[in-house]
Structure 1
Amino acid sequence: MAIHTRSEEAAADKRKQRKVLYQLLGRLPDRNRPIAAKLISTEETDELITEKLLMDINGLEPVPAYFTRPKNAQGNVPVILFNHSHFGQYHVGKDEYVKGRKEMQSPPYALALARAGYAGLCLDSWCFGERKGRTELDMFKEMLWKGQVMWGMMVYDNLRALDYLQTRPEVDMKRVGTIGMSMGSTMAWWLAAMDERIKVCVDLCCLTDYQALLEEKGLSLHGIYYYVPDLLNHFTTSQINALISPRPHFGLAGRLDPLTPLKGLEKINRNLKEVYQREGAPDAWQLKIYDVGHLETADMRQDIMAFFKKWL
């Protein structure tokens, strides 16, 4: 009879949970279909090389993206999969990564990460940036008819983005992180929960406890993309995030942010502290709450970069 250690049993249980979570994401394209990327243009500054790509990752529509890397990097470098936010500004998309936005600090993350020695990748999500031809609501409705889940389609694209990163010779796939704000925050912790290739997760201003959001009557604060059919019958926010443990995970939130009710943040923090303690990594989970609303402050940016430097 085989003897399984507690850690092996926990790992097997997480694999089962990831399978269930993936199945909730609707009818997705083949997870193993061939992918490709076409280089559209390259721009160079003294610090940064920026490639604009057109990617074939879902077989349904081309996915524009930016891949960036430090100009003078030597050897393989760590990489951050950056997830852009929503803010109802569908024209922005991946440009948030290279150009920034008023709700976030300067410099934009592409440059900030390059200065710290990281490469980066950011896609236009469905309905954003160069994919903004149709409204989010129309896209959601059509996908629903087809058995697709809009959030699932977004997650799928980013999982395939990780597959693409494996083809980049300058990338160290043992040092992959992910970060995002708002919608991008939710994407960061979903991706880290789904895929162990992500070694460090940072989520900014959207670690939302589902039940607390219901209690606060805050469902209208999140876009329609956010809602996954049948999810609450299988997972809490804490249970999804527990799939990241024991990998390093830093959550940042605003005390005055209605998108992340404080009661829910406290619940998630209690639950994840227990999980990380049980799995022998009590220092790898951190939640920090700042006296702000739904935005990134200078202190947040400093703390984020310090977390990546420590763990990645």
Structure 2
Amino acid sequence: MPRAIPSSHRLTAALLAALLATGANAADAPTGVQYEAPGVVDGMPAFSAALKDKLTFPLAWNPQVKDLKAWRDKGRAKVWELTMQERDATPFNAQVLSQQDRGSYVARELVFNLTGMSRVRALLLVPKAAGKHPAALMLHDHGGRFDIGKEKAIEPLNDEVKHASSKGWADKHFTGRWPGDALAKRGYVVLATDAVGWGDRGPLTGEQQQALSANFLNLGSTMAGNMALEDVRAAAFLASLPEVDTKRVAAIGFSMGAFRAWQLAALSDDVTAFVAVSWMATLKGLMVPGSNQLRGGSSYQMLHPGLVKWLDYPDVASLAAPKPGIFFSGETDKLFPVGPTRDAYAKMAKVWAAWGAADKFETHLRPGGHEFPAEVQDQAYDFLDRQFGRAGAAGR
């Protein structure tokens, strides 16, 4: 015996039959009926404005915060949680492969255990002078250039192909000199490693970034979180070297490297100061049509899923307070508009002031674009010298 069709189903069937009989379609919808079409505008969901309105950054500093240390600890714990990483204490077990005399300092190629999963090759510059020295971890940029990573910051050894690429990058962004070598001439120990996908840890292409990011997630990790963990470990390795004064260890970066520098200063107790060039603005100021942040690809390198529900970019950087920190941005930088950059700078300045450390925090909007030229390098390194008690230190 045929089963009875529920009345609700009979009604649906009747409506469908009526529509088919009349040839009705979406264009024949009654006047005044509204629905979302299209659902994507400028690479964002059509309701992106509503999503922005939901972001209140509840863990950001505010004037009601009384216990600054407790606020900082809570924010740092949330960042660590959303990196999806486990802390790593693997012995470094470093081994020097080769070295080269560069006058007042020595350049070394070495390998060490960056994490329990990755043993990597690195470049290290060490002053010849006896004693313990200030140090800096140089964090390379993105730039869509993957054949070199650490070689963007330090002149490479024993590799003519990478040397040519490295020199071209220095000419394009750094006024023809390697930022790491310039700092080593001042008497700093300098370390640089490759992030996953760059240099020895490549090759990566722009198109492969999204797949790599998805595969990190499929494996219970994230691309950005892994990079954050590796940067923390690299800073710990640098601080462990016998030539390094652990009270004077800086993180320095340009572009994506700047993001890494202020993030590292917020997460690592080994880092005692930082320099960030050409990466800072408010999230809402970057999530606008035409922004580089909307392109995917490189954005995955700096995306911790869920973090912006708690903290804006300047809020994360503020977790580094009261450590000395200096920011530079170009007035004509197409990637970071002046307005959102100024807003971020003003937000961070209030946090350093709350710590009573306004004199340890500097921001500079300078003529120029997305670059780290020699004069900015000198200004940044002068800042570090002052903060590290080396005012008047020789060697440029």
- Tell me the TM-score normalized by structure 2: 0.73
> What is the 5 A alignment of 1:13-162?
13-26=71-84, 28-71=85-128, 73-99=129-155, 101=170, 102-134=172-204, 135-162=208-235
**2:224–2:300 CA contact under 8 A, matched in 1:** no
What amino acid is aligned across from residue 55 of structure 1 in structure 2? Answer: F
**1:29–1:58 CA contact under 8 A, matched in 2:** no
What amino acid is aligned across from residue 13 of structure 1 in structure 2? Answer: W
Cα RMSD of the aligned pairs, angstroms, is 1.9
**Inter-partner Cα distance in structure 1 for 2:247 and 2:87:** 25
Q: CA deviation at 1:138?
A: 3.2
What SS class does the counterpart of residue 359 from structure 2 fall into? coil
Distance 1:65 1:136, change over 3 A: farther
**Structure possessing the higher radius of gyration over alpha carbons:** 2
What SS class does the counterpart of residue 36 from structure 1 fall into? coil
Pairing partner for 1:179 from 252, 271, 274: 252
What SS class does the counterpart of residue 215 from structure 1 fall into? coil
What amino acid is aligned across from residue 98 of structure 1 in structure 2? Answer: I
Q: CA deviation at 1:263?
A: 1.4
Q: CA deviation at 1:196?
A: 2.8
What SS class does the counterpart of residue 283 from structure 1 fall into? helix
What SS class does the counterpart of residue 275 from structure 1 fall into? helix
Q: CA deviation at 1:82?
A: 0.6
**Inter-partner Cα distance in structure 1 for 2:218 and 2:281:** 27
**Inter-partner Cα distance in structure 2 for 1:213 and 1:141:** 23
**1:66–1:122 CA contact under 8 A, matched in 2:** yes
Distance 1:196 1:93, change over 3 A: same
**Counterpart of 1:235?**
311
**Inter-partner Cα distance in structure 2 for 1:54 and 1:142:** 26
**Counterpart of 2:352?**
276
Q: CA deviation at 1:228?
A: 1.7
**2:154–2:192 CA contact under 8 A, matched in 1:** no
What SS class does the counterpart of residue 154 from structure 1 fall into? helix
**2:124–2:189 CA contact under 8 A, matched in 1:** yes
Q: Which stretches in structure 1 are left out of the alignment for 5+ residues?
A: 1-5
- Tell me the TM-score normalized by structure 1: 0.92
- Greater mean deviation of Cα atoms: 94-103 or 132-141: 132-141
What SS class does the counterpart of residue 79 from structure 1 fall into? strand
Number of equivalent positions: 305
Q: Which runs of 4+ in 1 moved over 4 A?
A: none
- Greater mean deviation of Cα atoms: 41-50 or 120-129: 41-50
Distance 1:34 1:302, change over 3 A: closer
**Counterpart of 1:3?**
none
- Greater mean deviation of Cα atoms: 148-157 or 213-222: 213-222
**Inter-partner Cα distance in structure 1 for 2:91 and 2:104:** 33
Q: CA deviation at 1:176?
A: 0.5
**2:249–2:272 CA contact under 8 A, matched in 1:** yes
**1:216–1:261 CA contact under 8 A, matched in 2:** no
What amino acid is aligned across from residue 140 of structure 1 in structure 2? Answer: S
What SS class does the counterpart of residue 329 from structure 2 fall into? strand
In the alignment, structure 1 residue 306 sits paired with structure 2 residue 382: yes
Q: CA deviation at 1:268?
A: 1.3
**Inter-partner Cα distance in structure 2 for 1:259 and 1:158:** 24
Pairing partner for 1:163 from 223, 236, 245: 236
What amino acid is aligned across from residue 220 of structure 1 in structure 2? Answer: L
Distance 1:155 1:287, change over 3 A: same
**2:272–2:323 CA contact under 8 A, matched in 1:** yes
**Inter-partner Cα distance in structure 1 for 2:65 and 2:284:** 29
**Inter-partner Cα distance in structure 2 for 1:41 and 1:8:** 52
**Inter-partner Cα distance in structure 1 for 2:322 and 2:265:** 11
What amino acid is aligned across from residue 122 of structure 1 in structure 2? Answer: A
Identity %: 25
Q: CA deviation at 1:29?
A: 4.6
Q: CA deviation at 1:32?
A: 2.3
Q: Deviations over 1:28-81 (max 9, x none)?
A: 25422333222221111212211111221223232221111123x220001001
**1:37–1:56 CA contact under 8 A, matched in 2:** yes
**1:63–1:123 CA contact under 8 A, matched in 2:** yes
What SS class does the counterpart of residue 173 from structure 2 fall into? coil
